[in-house]
A and B are shown apart, each in its own frame.
Chain A
Amino acid sequence: MPREFLRQSWWVNFSIIFGVLLLLPIFSPEFRVPLYGKYLSFAFVALGIVLSWGYCGILSLGQGIFFGIGAYSLAMFLKLEASRPELPDFMVWSSVEQLPLAWLPFQSFSFTLICILVLPVLIAFPFTYLIFKKRVSGVYFAILTLALSLTLTVLIIGSQGGTGGANGITDFSTLLGWDVASDEARSRLYYLMLGLLAVCVTLMHYLVSSRYGKVLIAIRDREDRVRFSGYDTAWIKAATLSVSCVLASIGGAMFVLFTGLITPQLVGAVASVEMIVYAAFGGRVSVLGAVFAAFSIGWLKSALSEQFPQGWLFFLGGLFLLVTAVLPQGLAGLLGMFKKSPNSEGDS
């Protein structure tokens, strides 16, 4: 057990945060709980970004792609279940005669699950391994991922009959017979998701407390030295990013469960960059900070959109400037949750 994994202050913070999240539904009207679930689905994404960007220094502006893989996979499954035995409504509107080949396997839940958990790795790992092996610079990589997420959005929107186009996919009813559409059902799902999030957070904490976390930091700060210490850094970076992509995919699936909707906007460039802010705001290397930031930014977004719809973009833009210029350690740094030097093992 890495010494840092057992550090008391972290577990105290963990209990506080998850305690609050656990009790929140009791003090809120039922219709708000699915919203909390929505905010927390981005916590999964932020968690992955803490690992790949905060610890390993890889800036990927394409996490929306994998968010989309998880979300669209589950959406397709749910849509098929809701529309059975007929074709999904948007296909009928697009004059599609037969269920497209790509949709057929999504009638199986196991296949859908594999898509959510395994497909991101199959796509991300080979591609990024080759790119990292070629020492493509961090900035170029970031721009490449940005362009790829944009391209995917364009592709999705262009395939109206297959993906629901710009309107996305919506109108679900049940998952394997269990109700997922009503507020009541989603409130119950909330606790399940919270449990999954707690498990993921704990696993992530273990990962970054172990020697693996130190290696990631070393790669972030001086990759060539790590290579000269005998590590295949391209492999490690690709593997780390793949984990991040799986988490994004899980987040996407959660999002679909709690909002009953997926659109190409959530896959695209703007959404991908926004996801970075969740991690940055919490403190790039803070696992718990990611959870807190995802929830609070989500909450702020809803609040601002209701009161000052013009204000949200100003706020988001200002947030970007804040976390890069003034608060590189994010909220976690501000609240003094770091024991030692902020850039290294500041996991709290």
Chain B
Amino acid sequence: MSLEIFWMQLFSGVSYTAILLLMSLGLAIVFGLMGVINMAHGELMALGAYVTFMVANVFLTIFPKSVDTYILFAIPIAFLVTFLFGMFLEWSVVRWFYNRPLDTLLATWGLSLILQQTYRTVFGPQEVTIPLASWLDGAIEPFTGVQVPLNRIFIIVLTLVVVGVVYFLFFKTSMGLKVRAITQNRAIAETVGINTRQVDMYTFALGSGLAGIAGSVFTMIGSTNPGTGQLYIVDTFIVVVFGGVASLMGTALSSFIIAQLQTTFEFMTTSSYAKVLLMLIVVVILYFRPNGLFSSKVRT
């Protein structure tokens, strides 16, 4: 395989990788901390996408001159909206299900059905597209023969920034310390005065917010419809299961591996066989590392 094709291959998977990374980070944070598997995570991504769509429309109608800058506003707004909605979900539904992971799975699946149908009712079943901002159109050519689309670079930079912020939050702030404390030992954390209810709510909200950003990114590569959330949800779960919930770094690595495997297989064979191959590998790895690839042995 020539160098050019290698680069092209690497970059074509970038958007998929970025979205998968953001989604699985969000899910892993929630699962690792609270043992909650949120099947409605995909719908939160869709919410981010729809919010981006609405912001774009607002700009088109009210600020047509600055329409090119909409994306810079849309992303934080999408984050904020999904953050708040996540908080609401946690408070109203999810918090009743801690320590019952299988029930949470089913309950949030029910939530996802309700949300999908809500989107269908509010936005309609058809797809909505958002035109790409003009400054993101086009590509640069770092080496001859290799085209790197600008929007891909934007996505990479955005993802790196987001991951960096998350890292900072978790490892450099006191809130992050509290989260890590609760993950290790909830009971003790409570006895030293950490308000676990509050931390749970904010953490779930953060995980949801990350899904919202993923949704925003998604609008740059595809059109959104009520079923969009379902596109990435199973892959996201596979990333979390594959990586194990030991560390965020492990999740990040895992998403990168899975995304690359997926796109490579798709390059080599048909899309359906690619999925089969991927599942085969996941199952085999799980056999040897039942807690995920990056988990460590803990005294239970």
Q: Are B93 and A135 in contact (CB under 8 A)?
A: no
For the complex formed, measure the closest distance between the CB of A99 and the CB atoms of chain B, giving whole angstroms. Answer: 22
Q: Are A324 and B234 in contact (CB under 8 A)?
A: no
Asked, given contacts A136-B286, A151-B279, whether A146 binds B237 with beta carbons under 8 Å apart, the answer is yes
Which segment of B49-57, B74-82, B202-210, B269-277 sits at the interface?
B269-277
Chain A residues near B121: list those with CB within 8 A.
310
**Residues in A115-152 with C-beta less than 8 Å from chain B:** 130-131, 134-140, 142-144, 146-148, 150-151
Asked, given contacts A154-B275, A310-B121, whether A143 binds B238 with beta carbons under 8 Å apart, the answer is yes
Q: Are A324 and B37 in contact (CB under 8 A)?
A: no
Number of A-B contacts (CB under 8 A): 115
Q: Are B234 and A146 in contact (CB under 8 A)?
A: yes
Q: Are B103 and A144 in contact (CB under 8 A)?
A: no
Q: Are A147 and B97 in contact (CB under 8 A)?
A: no
Chain A residues near B276: list those with CB within 8 A.
151, 154-155
Asked, given contacts A131-B287, A136-B286, A146-B234, whether A324 binds B120 with beta carbons under 8 Å apart, the answer is no
Q: Which residue of B113, B117, B237, B291 contacts A143 across the interface (Cβ within 8 Å)?
A: B237
Q: Are B114 and A325 in contact (CB under 8 A)?
A: no
For the complex formed, measure the closest distance between the CB of B263 and the CB atoms of chain A, giving whole angstroms. Answer: 16
Q: Are B107 and A147 in contact (CB under 8 A)?
A: no
Chain B residues near A324: list those with CB within 8 A.
97, 100, 103-104, 106-107, 110
Interchain CA distance A319-B110 in the complex, whole Å = 7
Q: Are B286 and A140 in contact (CB under 8 A)?
A: yes
For the complex formed, measure the closest distance between the CB of B162 and the CB atoms of chain A, giving whole angstroms. Answer: 25
Asked, given contacts A316-B113, A318-B110, A324-B106, whether A139 binds B272 with beta carbons under 8 Å apart, the answer is no
A276 contacts chain B at the CB level, 8 A cutoff: yes
Interchain CA distance A321-B290 in the complex, whole Å = 30
15 contacts between A and B (CB under 8 A): A140-B292, A142-B102, A154-B271, A157-B272, A158-B271, A158-B272, A158-B273, A280-B106, A313-B116, A314-B113, A321-B93, A324-B106, A325-B97, A325-B107, A328-B103
Interface residues, chain A, CB within 8 Å of chain B?
57, 59, 130-131, 134-140, 142-144, 146-148, 150-151, 154-155, 157-159, 269, 273, 276-277, 280, 310, 313-314, 316-321, 323-325, 328
